[in-house]
Amino acid sequence: MMPARPRNVLLRMLTPVVVLGTVLSLPSVAQASFPGKNGKIVFVSDIEGFDQIYVVNADGSGMQNLTNDQSSIYLEPQWSADGTKIAFVTNKSGNNDIWVMNGDGSGMQQLTTDPAADGYPAWSPDGEHIAFASDRTGHWNIFVMDAEGNDQQDVTSSNAFDTMPSWSPDGTRIAFASIRTKNLHDDIWVMNADGSNQTPLTNTPRSEVEPTWSPDGAMIAFTKFGSAGARIGVMNADGAGRHMLRRGMHPAWSPDGTRIAYLTPESLQLWTMNSDGTQGVPVVQNGTNQTPDWQAIPE
């Protein structure tokens, strides 16, 4: 049986729709290097009673509610590579859709309007595209659109369960979680940004989810669900050298590559640790928290 997923995971299956195909314009290749200084951590919390998007400094100071809208639910925020915008999911329009806003919470703009459920937005490193997951074809697949919400294209086109995309720092590949084997567990896959060359990086009896690339593109952190509960691991970008760091879930690298933000598995507190798993430090210890992502401040 597949382990319980975090409550922010969108599992609604709706009537399939036809997606018109066009030629996908790939993002330009970005330099695979540490992208900047460590900024604020964005995350979701119900600390005020509803799932809202917050930012906080890595030392726990300066926490701010960016959405402050108790009539809607906000999920899965992710910073753009230049640290100026945040993509996120909300039911503000009556459906789970992808939106973007400025880093201070202003200028909200809806990008997807399909009646199906959309989730897990992930910016390309050049800021020109956003990958996301959607069940609009009757299966959860990975889609890519431009940053204005145009040219939405299914790039995995599978009958599987593909979610949680993460773009490589050089813009050429996307890692994602997928259920494609008879054991009905998630594995981590990688593909070219146009959907070609889909290749599994893990293939175990346990679920591995939430892949996230290190800023230099050399490693991928992930969450593994097993008999010991949720644990955070890392592996080389080709899937080799897998090893576990500590108990936790939803890893998010700091832009300088030295730290990883994560959630504690029982209480869902927000912590950070060294990238080798040592020196865990609490950041936010109240509320039920979800999906941290670390802002890069360009140098």
Three-state helix/strand/coil letters over the chain: CCCCCCCCCCCCCCCCCCCCCCCCCCCCCCCCCCCCEEEEEEEEECCCCCCEEEEECCCCCCCEECCCCCCCCEEEEEECCCCCEEEEEECCCCCCEEEEEECCCCCCEECCCCCCCEEEEEECCCCCEEEEEECCCCCEEEEEEECCCCCCEECCCCCCEEEEEEECCCCCEEEEEEECCCCCCCEEEEEECCCCCCEECCCCCCEEEEEEECCCCCEEEEEEEECCEEEEEEEECCCCCCEEEEECEEEEECCCCCEEEEECCCCCCEEEEECCCCCCEEEECCCCEEEEEEEEECC
Per-residue pLDDT at 44 exceeds 80: yes
Asked if residue 18 is part of any domain, the answer here is no
Per-residue pLDDT at 15 exceeds 70: no
Q: Could you give the angle at the alpha carbon of 144 between the alpha carbons of 297 and 169, nearest 5°?
A: 35
Per-residue pLDDT at 259 exceeds 50: yes
Asked if residue 164 is part of any domain, the answer here is yes
Global pTM?
A: 0.88
**Residues 123-139, mean pLDDT to the nearest whole number:** 96
Other CB atoms within 10 Å distance of the CB of residue 109: 13
Per-residue pLDDT at 110 exceeds 80: yes
What pLDDT was estimated at residue 184? 82
Q: What's the CATH code of the domain at 286?
A: 2.120.10.30
**Residues 259-267, mean pLDDT to the nearest whole number:** 96
**Residues 186-191, mean pLDDT to the nearest whole number:** 97
Q: How many domains does the chain have?
A: 1
Question: If we measure between CA atoms, which residue out of 129, 45, 119, 50 comes closest to residue 85?
Answer: 129
C-beta separation of 91 from 50 below 8 A: no
Asked if residue 28 is part of any domain, the answer here is no
What pLDDT was estimated at residue 139? 92
Which sign, positive or negative, has the C-alpha torsion 58, 63, 66, 71? Answer: positive
Which amino acid belongs to residue 129? Answer: H
What pLDDT was estimated at residue 34? 53
Domain that holds residue 94: 37-297
Q: How far apart (Å, rounded) are the C-alpha atoms in residues 75 and 60? A: 20
Q: How far apart (Å, rounded) are the C-alpha atoms in residues 233 and 299? A: 29
C-beta separation of 166 from 222 below 8 A: no
Asked if residue 275 is part of any domain, the answer here is yes
What pLDDT was estimated at residue 228? 84
Asked if residue 25 is part of any domain, the answer here is no
Per-residue pLDDT at 33 exceeds 90: no
Per-residue pLDDT at 123 exceeds 60: yes
**Average pLDDT, whole number, for the chain?**
89
Task: Grade residue 4 by pLDDT with cuts at 50, 70 and 90.
Answer: very low
Asked if residue 14 is part of any domain, the answer here is no
Per-residue pLDDT at 28 exceeds 80: no
Distances (CA, A) of 63 to 24, 146, 286: 39, 31, 12
Per-residue pLDDT at 215 exceeds 50: yes
Per-residue pLDDT at 32 exceeds 70: no
Per-residue pLDDT at 5 exceeds 70: no
**Residues 194-204, mean pLDDT to the nearest whole number:** 95
**Residues 219-236, mean pLDDT to the nearest whole number:** 95
What pLDDT was estimated at residue 9? 37
Q: Which stretch of 61-65, 157-161, 238-242, 258-262 has the lowest confidence by average pLDDT?
A: 157-161
Asked if residue 136 is part of any domain, the answer here is yes
C-beta separation of 247 from 266 below 8 A: no
Q: How far apart (Å, rounded) are the C-alpha atoms in residues 169 and 124? A: 8
Asked if residue 1 is part of any domain, the answer here is no
Q: How far apart (Å, rounded) are the C-alpha atoms in residues 247 and 249? A: 7
Tokens of 104: 């201070």
Q: Which stretch of 28-37, 68-77, 184-193, 236-245 has the lowest confidence by average pLDDT?
A: 28-37
What pLDDT was estimated at residue 26? 41
Q: How far apart (Å, rounded) are the C-alpha atoms in residues 108 and 101? A: 4
Q: How far apart (Å, rounded) are the C-alpha atoms in residues 209 and 186? A: 6
What pLDDT was estimated at residue 36? 78
